[in-house]
Amino acid sequence: MRLSRYFLPVLKETPGEAQVISHQLMLRAGMVRQTAAGIYAWLPLGKRVLARIEQIVREEQDRACAIEVLMPTIQSAELWRQSGRYEAYGPEMLRIKDRQDREMLFSPTAEELFTVIFQNGAKSYRDLPRNLYQIQWKFRDEVRPRFGVLRGREFLMKDAYSFDLDMAGARHSYNRMFIAYMRTFARMGLDAIPMQADTGPIGGDLSHEFIVLAPTGESDVFYHENWLHPRDTDGIDADDPAALEDFIAGLNQDYAATDEKRDLDAEAAAGPALRQSKGIEVGQVFYFGDKYTKAMGVSVQGPDGAPVTPLMGSYGIGVSRLVGAIIEASHDTAGIIWPDAVAPFKVALINLRADDAACSAACEGLYAELSAAGVEVLYDDRDERGGAKFATADLIGLPWQLVVGPKGIAQGVVELKRRRTGEKQEMTVEAALARLTA
């Protein structure tokens, strides 16, 4: 993509309404614009990051044997009355009426709807286990939307819902999602700590929040210092219930809990290894048994012919919130530093002299070869000063900067900079192409 043709409305100054660094940088980098309190339009650069995160989430959900669907954002109030949550949920739910005076709502979550869809399609124990998920926009009318996409009213969320015949199966589904979440966040370059958490209005008695440590987080969290070291899940067989249970039990030996679920005895046992911090919740997993299936009259025929009420879990990931969380965890004074897996483009190709024929010819050649090799490039071909181009490249935080200037081209070299480390190397055009296409 040529920057001269791209829509990238970057800002030099930090908008006064932005309180946290992720909100400041998302506005300055031209990723989003606020359209109402807590509601944002996603501009091209932000939309590309959102799509990268969506794809990682989708791949790990598919790997965990969840099946993707897409539900409507508008739901009937009658569904929520069946579960008993319509009045209990509170003012965060946006309630509306259609032209026939029927009560509707903008989905803040979707346990009821998934339960009904499952009920219509599952009749026997042979139809279990199942885990259905979607990536869909939600709305919660927060009292004080703030911190940009970290606490917005409209947000993109992955929500999954598991259905199992018995407690052993339900626990295995919960554990599969637990590991899927660890893999998901690790692929994004995040150290997200699973912490014992309160279930809130979702219900149930077992839940973990996945927390990214950040001074701007709203949650107070407590954890053993061992969680500061990443955990390897590559060798875990998620299809083996016993192996999965043992692995997670081993993880849980190291204390980690949100403020609502603090265990003072466990904290005392941790001693000087106990840490306290602020954190950003990026995902949460719940087990709540038959809370919804029983209330909504769902059953399947068991192996002995008797009706069985399936047991459920639900599993959420804040896809749009992750954009802000990643920036909070990965930035410097110059701007964003995207992990490779979620970067909107891989390379910023910077032409230092757009009016120099040799320089522009070299850039055109590099742009063509990188694009042909499948490397996504944002080519800064604008008639701007070099300093302005460097500032833009640092602000938007692409992993690599490939700098082409007339002096270097005369000597047969270009400069390759790694944004994360700041390391710069002069090398031939061929060597730069080999590095970026490896």
Say whether 354 sits in a helix, a strand or coil: coil
Based on the fold, state whether residues 75 and 176 are members of the same structural domain: yes
Separation of alpha carbons 121 and 372, rounded Å: 46
With cut-offs at 50, 70 and 90, classify the pLDDT of residue 403: very high
Based on the fold, state whether residues 201 and 84 are members of the same structural domain: yes
Is 62's pLDDT higher than 80? yes
Based on the fold, state whether residues 16 and 101 are members of the same structural domain: yes
Based on the fold, state whether residues 350 and 325 are members of the same structural domain: no
Separation of alpha carbons 125 and 114, rounded Å: 18
Read off the CATH number of the domain in which 373 is found: 3.40.50.800
Separation of alpha carbons 35 and 32, rounded Å: 9
Residue 197: per-residue pLDDT = 86
With cut-offs at 50, 70 and 90, classify the pLDDT of residue 206: confident
Where among 336, 353, 388 does a domain terminate?
336
Residue 387: per-residue pLDDT = 96
pLDDT tens across 27-36, in order? 999 999 999 9
> What is the rounded average pLDDT for all residues in the chain?
95
Based on the fold, state whether residues 220 and 286 are members of the same structural domain: yes
pLDDT tens across 100-147, in order? 999 999 999 999 999 999 999 999 999 999 999 999 999 999 988 989
Give the residue-averaged pLDDT of 407-436. Answer: 97
Residue 204: per-residue pLDDT = 60
Where among 336, 361, 386 does a domain terminate?
336
Residue 203: per-residue pLDDT = 57
With cut-offs at 50, 70 and 90, classify the pLDDT of residue 200: low
With cut-offs at 50, 70 and 90, classify the pLDDT of residue 201: low
Q: Other C-beta atoms within 10 Å of 97: how many? A: 10
Based on the fold, state whether residues 242 and 311 are members of the same structural domain: yes
Based on the fold, state whether residues 369 and 266 are members of the same structural domain: no
Based on the fold, state whether residues 57 and 114 are members of the same structural domain: yes
Give the residue-averaged pLDDT of 18-35. Answer: 97
With cut-offs at 50, 70 and 90, classify the pLDDT of residue 156: very high
Based on the fold, state whether residues 222 and 362 are members of the same structural domain: no
Residue 219: per-residue pLDDT = 84
Based on the fold, state whether residues 81 and 143 are members of the same structural domain: yes
Short-list 17, 5, 132, 10, CA closest to 68 = 132
Short-list 124, 101, 122, 69, CA closest to 301 = 124
Range of the domain at 374: 345-437
Short-list 48, 65, 40, 230, CA closest to 133 = 65
pLDDT tens across 339-380, in order? 999 999 999 999 999 999 999 999 999 999 999 999 999 999
Give the residue-averaged pLDDT of 204-215. Answer: 87
Where among 304, 336, 368 does a domain terminate?
336
Based on the fold, state whether residues 204 and 55 are members of the same structural domain: yes
Read off the CATH number of the domain in which 151 is found: 3.30.930.10
The domain tally of the chain equals 2
Is 413's pLDDT higher than 60? yes
Separation of alpha carbons 218 and 288, rounded Å: 25
Residue 146: per-residue pLDDT = 87
Residue found under tokens 């390759």: 416
Based on the fold, state whether residues 176 and 41 are members of the same structural domain: yes
Is 183's pLDDT higher than 60? yes
